[in-house]
Structure 1
């Protein structure tokens, strides 16, 4: 079922913004890392990671210099089913006792036009580091009512469970994890 990594998150914006550091707003619950896995090809198991943190740097004039990093507490996996979550935390899937954190660190960001980006990076999950790409979309940016400045993005990615040493084999229909990321950053 599983999991994900999440990681993360891609985040970048096509609006004119000066280079700035942003902290992902997890305190205000304006960021989400959600996963979806086919259950035997008959339905889906969906869930999220409740605890993660991260930051990104973005300059619309120098998109190639953009960076993002995210750390996920894999023990915070939540599929809205306590027994399944216990199984997801075990050795068949996330192995959270040995690997309580997952990370994503970008290696490049490529502008695709029309507020779209590809964020390439390394996902370290369940003791394995592999490159992944996140298809990201800039949602918007601007001042908030509290005098700050925010930028928001969404992203999706997919990876094979076996690529990250998840041992449970539920057949070919359940081989992939789809991640959906929604990120709002607060300019620091």
Structure 2
């Protein structure tokens, strides 16, 4: 009889110790094109070259009561890079830049999420790009949340960061004004 009582008590105790298990799980809405991974880099210091990755997938867990337990995982198909110029995209896919034949995917896996208040947060995680894994810090802004017209629940964030190309083994000389790429992730998740 004591064993039958001990098991539920042990299970209840374990559940209390792992609050992230209770966080809501969200699938990033790439199917409905309500999310994007965009980039921009200065062109010779005179203008911005902008683009996006058309194919990616991911999910996140988030609970407003315990935001520090939030997790984010995103996988990007680097072959889907799109700067609205076919010849440039071919060059970006080649060995000078992404080398998609060897590195067809990039990944981001979060390590910590710090709520700063007023809908702002800092997300730290590991970005694997071009075969190199480095820690990156993403500035996060909560866009909104609520019921959608189809009976689901959605939650959206925007994240921005800047990465040095050389940190990820991309050392093609674009000039001194073009050493960093700014990334913007617009994420709308559907509660699962």
TM-based fold match above 0.5? yes
In structure 2, the residue matched to 1:163 is: 167
Q: Of 114, 121, 126, which residue of structure 2 is paired with 1:117?
A: 121
Higher helix share: 2
Tell whether 2:182 aligns with 1:173. no
Q: What is the CA–CA distance in structure 2 between the aligned matches of 1:169 and 1:112, rounded to whole Å? A: 37
Instruction: Please state how far the C-alpha of 1:38 moved relative to its aligned partner.
Output: 0.4
**Equivalent in the alignment of 1:76:** 80
In the aligned structure 2, how far is the partner of 1:143 from the partner of 1:43?
A: 40
Q: Distance in 2 between matches of 1:174 and 1:40?
A: 7
1:113-153 C-alpha deviation (Å, 9 max, x unpaired) = 11001000000000000000110100110011111000011
Q: Give, in angstroms, the shift of residue 19 of structure 1.
A: 2.3
Whole-Å Cα distance in 1 between the matches of residues 23 and 71 of structure 2? 11
Aligned to 2:149: 145
8 A Cα contact 1:36 1:179, kept in partner: yes
1:21 and 2:21 correspond: no
Retained in 2: the 8 A contact 1:122–1:132?
Answer: yes
Distance 2:50 2:173 in 1: 17
Match of 2:104 among 80, 86, 100: 100
Runs of 4+ in 1 over 6 A off after TM superposition: none
TM-score (norm 2): 0.88
Structure 2: how far apart are the matches of 1:78 and 1:69? 22
**Partner of residue 34, structure 1:** 38
Structure 2: distance between partners of 1:86 and 1:76: 11
SS at match of 1:75: helix
Greater RCO, 1 or 2 (C-alpha within 8 Å, sep 6+): 1
1:49 aligns with 2:49: no
Residue 54 (structure 1) shift: 0.2
- SS of residue in 1 equivalent to 2:177: helix
SS in 2 for 1:45: strand
Aligned residues between the structures: 171
Q: What corresponds to 1:12 in structure 2?
A: none
Give the deviation of 1:167 after TM superposition: 2.5
What TM-score do you get using the length of structure 1 for normalisation?
0.89
Match of 1:182 in 2: 186
